[in-house]
Amino acid sequence: MPRKPRYDSSDLEVLTGLDPVRRRPGMYTETQSPDHLAQEVIDNSVDEALAGFAHRLAVTLHADGSLTVADDGRGMPVDRHPELGRSGVEVILTVLHAGSKFGESVYGFSGGLHGVGVSVVNALSRRLEVWVRRGGGEFHMAFADGEPVSPLVRTGPVPRGETGTRIRFWVNERYFENPHLSVDRLIPLLRAKAVLLPGLAVTLVEEASGRSERWYYEAGLTTYLAEALAGHALLPETPFVGHFRSERAEAAFALAWESGGSGPGAVTESFVNLIPTPQGGTHLVGLKSGLLAALREFCEYRGLMPRDIKLAAEDVTQGLNYVLSLKLRDVEFSGQLKEKLNSREAVSFVSGVVKDGFSLWLHQSPALGEPIARGAVGHAIARQRRDSQVARKKPTAALALPGKLADCAGESLEETELFLVEGDSAGGSARQARDRAFQAILPLRGKILNTWETGSGEVLDSAEIRDLATALGVQPGTPDLTGLRYGRICILADADSDGAHIATLLCALFVRHFPEIIRQGRLYVAMPPLYRIDVGPTVYYALDEEEKSGILDRLQAEGRREKVQVTRFKGLGEMNPEQLRETTLAPETRRLVRLSWDAVRETEEILDRLLSRRRAADRRLWLENEGRFAVPL
């Protein structure tokens, strides 16, 4: 099609109502099947149960392929919205980003965060009907292809005090590769809701087969995990269970290791506000971090750790079965499918309560804890034996290493790591804080050259980059890593805006001129803390404001009463070597983020917008539109 020679405001198309969903359904739900639509409606009912207003959830898969979800919650609002002049039912089902779950006044914990879930169901259904019981009456409204076809009308009285919402929808086949709802996917979803919310009665009826199921758990996680692992040899035999709550967060978990198990366990399930998170996220990071910290402490105290062996998260999670349920206010997922949690505060909250709860159990039950610890140590020994078989590339006589490089003594490529440290002052502290056996330090002076639009041959004109390439043993622009001298390359900059700028320039250097290092998963960014929190004799470190809130929530959940003192670091130079070692360099307590090549196209677009000289106008427009969302560091 020939393009128009002119481009003006008349060419701008504004999508209104539910048109965006129908035009690009893949942005709002999975289009392989409509199972996620069922989950959205179910989650709305579960949010009523989470808030304490619903005790029954009934799901019916009808013979004609439609689905009904009913609850005994408060019922959707039937009065008119004061600004839109439409009933609450119509607003909820036809207006994107409309709902009562953005704040905390109506719902505390909830899964409905964006106000688009059930309206997406309506948009992608050829028909949807809703019945609301509220205020002594039952109300009904119908929709076709997302548009009202009958107004909200009162159809009759109901017994006083009887409330609830019932939704039935017929999927529009045109939007899905397979338009049929799967009962096999509904069963684990509904069972999990009952497990994670003791006291909620959940039923499922499949009309075509006559099959019916009912789930109701008083004991919750313990019963569920034990039933799922019946017949397995477990450590401990009865799953370990923990439950902690603060004003803003609540974590419950059950876990058990399979005796002699390797690889992931048979049950590895995580949830946020009762929504399954199959891709994990920050709450799962916190669980693994807490277990690792507790087992390291226990092994050292009981003398179970051989010399020169260090536990890693992968050693602890071999054969681990777990169910983790986190409830969090103001939760942030990675997308509308809600398959991965992004909320930073979840890491510190979950890690802290898991570490403290599991550590206490280990020390109180050493006979049960020692077999778990010995299994993790065995995995660590096997892993270290595998890693030591790959030797680190040694410098040749012709290779003069940079004078400011503090090299390491280790010869295993997979164990050694190079830290690229912002500034000579922080570099000096890092030299004292490092483990010389496997950690090398290369301080960088100020901001390096912006190499985004510079050829690989020209970047070596910069002395800083020339020293970096020499230390790595790899020349810019080459895919050959046979000369690579370190298994991990870690960018270490201040946790402020200047540090973020330096880290961005270094990331751009590797994306543009050392991409093979990223493809092999060898580039990391260290995450130094911004806050230190002192509570009596105990010290905590927080990466950012959200994590600080998570730690304070954890202290509240544990009932700590000591005075809390919060200190903000201005940069790495303010940390003494012991603090730098504990927070950023020691593998037992540090946090590293590995850069992945999976999202390289998106990454290159962002870096190009930030660093390209020819895109100054795009940068200015981006700052004008997005600058208000910046969080001061």
Which residues have a catalytic role annotated?
422, 494, 496, 498
For residue 206, CA distances in Å to 24, 59, 189, 433 come to 31, 9, 15, 63
Sheet containing 275-276: give its strands across: 234-245, 249-258, 320-328, 268-272, 275-276
Between CA 623 and CA 565 the distance in angstroms is 35
Provide the residue count of the chain: 633
Between CA 529 and CA 540 the distance in angstroms is 10
Tokens 């996620």 -> residue: 36
Q: Is 216 left (phi over 0), alpha (psi -120 to 50) or beta?
A: beta
CB burial class (10 A; 0-12, 13-18, 19+) of residue 411? middle
Q: Where are the alpha helices (DSSP H) in 124-247?
A: 183-196, 221-228
**Contact assessment for residue 560 and residue 535, using Cβ atoms and an 8 Å cutoff:** yes
Between CA 325 and CA 150 the distance in angstroms is 40
Between CA 250 and CA 243 the distance in angstroms is 7
Q: Which residues have C-beta within 8 Å of that of residue 103, sequence separation ≥ 6?
A: none
Instruction: Identify the CA nearest to 239 among candidates 249, 250, 228, 251.
Output: 228
12: tokens are 């701008």
Sheet containing 538-542: give its strands across: 538-542, 531-535, 564-568
**Contact assessment for residue 93 and residue 236, using Cβ atoms and an 8 Å cutoff:** no
**Contact assessment for residue 460 and residue 432, using Cβ atoms and an 8 Å cutoff:** no
Radius of gyration (C-alpha) of the chain in whole angstroms? 28
Q: Is 264 left (phi over 0), alpha (psi -120 to 50) or beta?
A: beta
For residue 10, CA distances in Å to 6, 7, 13, 14 come to 10, 8, 8, 10
**Contact assessment for residue 392 and residue 412, using Cβ atoms and an 8 Å cutoff:** yes
CA end-to-end span of the chain, whole Å?
49
Instruction: Identify the CA nearest to 40 among candidates 331, 340, 274, 282.
Output: 274
SS3 assignment, position 550: helix
Stretch (H or E) spanning 295: helix 282-302
Between CA 88 and CA 81 the distance in angstroms is 6
In order, the DSSP letters of 358-376 are: HHHHHHH-HHHHHHHHHHH
Strand partners of residue 323: 254, 269
| Sign of the Cα pseudo-torsion (78, 80, 82, 83, in order) | positive
Tokens 């001129």 -> residue: 513
Between CA 239 and CA 221 the distance in angstroms is 9
Strand partners of residue 87: 80
For residue 352, CA distances in Å to 177, 251, 255, 440 come to 43, 11, 16, 30
